[in-house]
């Protein structure tokens, strides 16, 4: 039997992708659902993971980079002396991509599944070309959008991570350094001021200008509190096992 690795990011899309994979291939393949934990994510993600695990009736395995056993994005930035830029973010590289590569060295995986939805066919094609050709587009083939995935979870009685209800654009780390949007960073300043301050202090110390304002990169502590850019888009910079930056 072939083995399919479903990479579950504690988001609605990857949860539904795991459900579809089990439904379509569960009788003919071994399904392994895998999660890369990051401690900067909301604690409610752990509750959501357990709910999805029970729903799927499949144990969700933890996959980590052996170099970073604490699974901390803040630690990655500090060790790498780099937070984000044109090459993406090292937290995604170390805690997602490298962790996956280490896992693949010790496990035989025939196919991969990620939470690419019907709106993300271009991103899926880029992932196939640049990362893994053996990736199954289960959500795209089903025609499921992000909102469809959210509704499916609610109908199954599963409450998505509370980050969604709080207005965050995804269920990933709060204060995601892949965003350069003043809209996003002032949202962080408003709803999670401690996170904003932590990012501002670390980015200033490392010399990283995380936000773009009036066409220019500036430090977070230089951002006017009333500055806005384009509206935040749901899952616009979702943190999967590859890095996608969000530019305003």
Measure the CA–CA gap between 36 and 11, rounded to whole angstroms.
12
Identify the H or E element spanning 79: helix 73-80
Provide the pLDDT for residue 170. 82
Tokens 């399904």 belong to: 31
List 2's β-bridge partners, or say none. Answer: 29
Measure the CA–CA gap between 150 and 175, rounded to whole angstroms.
22
Task: Kindly report the average pLDDT of the chain as a whole number.
Answer: 91
CATH class, range 2-165: alpha beta
Indicate whether this model's pTM tops 0.85. Answer: yes
Identify the H or E element spanning 4: strand 2-7
| Residues 128, 135 contacting (CB under 8 angstroms) | yes
The number of helices, as runs of H, and strands, as runs of E, in the chain is: 11, 7
Average pLDDT over residues 113-118: 95
Measure the CA–CA gap between 213 and 222, rounded to whole angstroms.
10
Tokens 């604690």 belong to: 43
Average pLDDT over residues 33-58: 96
pLDDT per position as a tens digit, 75-110 = 999 999 999 987 789 999 999 999 999 999 999 999
pLDDT per position as a tens digit, 172-189 = 899 999 999 999 999 999
pLDDT per position as a tens digit, 194-204 = 999 999 999 99
């Amino acid at each position: 039997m072939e083995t399919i690795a479903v990479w579950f990011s504690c988001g609605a899309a990857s949860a539904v992708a795991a459900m579809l994979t089990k439904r379509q291939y569960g009788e003919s393949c071994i399904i392994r659902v895998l999660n890369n934990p990051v401690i900067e994510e909301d604690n409610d993600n752990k509750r959501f993971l357990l709910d999805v695990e029970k729903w799927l009736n499949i144990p969700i395995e933890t996959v980590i980079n052996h170099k970073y056993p604490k699974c901390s994005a803040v630690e990655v930035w500090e060790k790498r002396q780099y937070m984000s830029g044109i090459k993406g973010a090292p937290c995604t590289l170390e805690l997602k991509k490298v962790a996956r590569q280490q896992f693949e060295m010790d496990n035989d995986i025939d196919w991969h599944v990620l939470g690419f939805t019907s709106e993300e066919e271009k991103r899926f094609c880029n992932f196939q070309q640049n990362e893994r050709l053996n990736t199954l587009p289960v959500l795209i083939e089903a025609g499921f959008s992000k909102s469809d995935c959210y509704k499916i979870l609610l109908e199954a009685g599963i409450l998505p991570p509370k980050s969604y209800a709080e207005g965050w654009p995804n269920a990933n780390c709060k204060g995601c350094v892949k965003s350069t949007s003043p809209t996003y960073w002032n949202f962080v300043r408003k709803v999670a001021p401690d996170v904003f301050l932590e990012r501002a202090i670390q980015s200033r110390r490392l010399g990283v200008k995380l936000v773009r304002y009036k066409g220019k990169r500036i430090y977070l502590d230089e951002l006017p509190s009333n500055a806005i850019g384009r509206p935040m888009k749901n899952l616009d910079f979702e943190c999967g096992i590859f890095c996608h930056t969000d530019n305003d």
